[in-house]
A = this chain, B = another copy of it.
Amino acid sequence: MIRHVAIVGATGAVGREVCTIFEERGLRFERISLLASSRGAGTRISVNGHAYTVQELSERSFEGVDYAIFSAGSERSKQFAPIANKAGSVVIDNSSAFRMDPDTPLVIPEINPEDVKQHRGIIANPNCSTIIMAMAVWPLHRANPVRRIVVSTYQSASGAGAAAMEELRTQTADHLAGRKVIPQVFPHPIAFNLFSHNTPIGPDGYNTEEKKMLEETRKIFHAPSIAIAPTCIRVPVLRAHSESINLTFEQPITPREVRLILSEAPGVTVVDDVKANRFPMPVDASGKDNVFVGRIRQDISQPDGRGIELFASGDQLRKGAALNAIQILELLQELAL
Contact = CB atoms under 8 A, between A and B. Distances in A.
A302 B233 contact: no
B244 A301 contact: no
8 contacts: A172-B172, A176-B176, A195-B279, A196-B279, A201-B277, A214-B300, A229-B307, A235-B236
A204 interface: yes
The SS class assigned to the A binding surface is mixed
Interface stretch (A88-96, A125-133, A290-298): A290-298
A311 interface: yes
A188 interface: yes
B297 A206 contact: yes
Interface string A192-233: 111110101100111100000010000000000001110101
A150 interface: yes
A231 B309 contact: yes
A237 interface: yes
A332 to B, nearest CB: 34
Contacts of A229: 246, 299-302, 307, 309
A196 B311 contact: yes
A205 B242 contact: no
A182 interface: no
A230 to B, nearest CB: 9
A311 B198 contact: no
Given A227-B301, A231-B311, 5 more contacts: A168-B192, A173-B176, A194-B281, A200-B277, A207-B277
A228 B187 contact: no
A250 to B, nearest CB: 15
B192 A152 contact: no
A143 interface: no
Which of A188, A194, A200, A294: most chain B CB closer than 10 A? A194
A206 B198 CA distance: 32
Which of A168, A204, A229: most chain B CB closer than 10 A? A229
Given A188-B281, A227-B301, A233-B311, A152 B244 contact: yes
Contact of A237 (B192, B196, B277, B278): B192
Contacts of A187: 277
A14 B177 CA distance: 24
A274 interface: yes
A193 to B, nearest CB: 4
A19 to B, nearest CB: 23
Given A149-B301, A277-B187, A298-B204, A194 B228 contact: no
A169 interface: yes
B172 A301 contact: no
A69 B152 CA distance: 36
B235 A297 contact: no
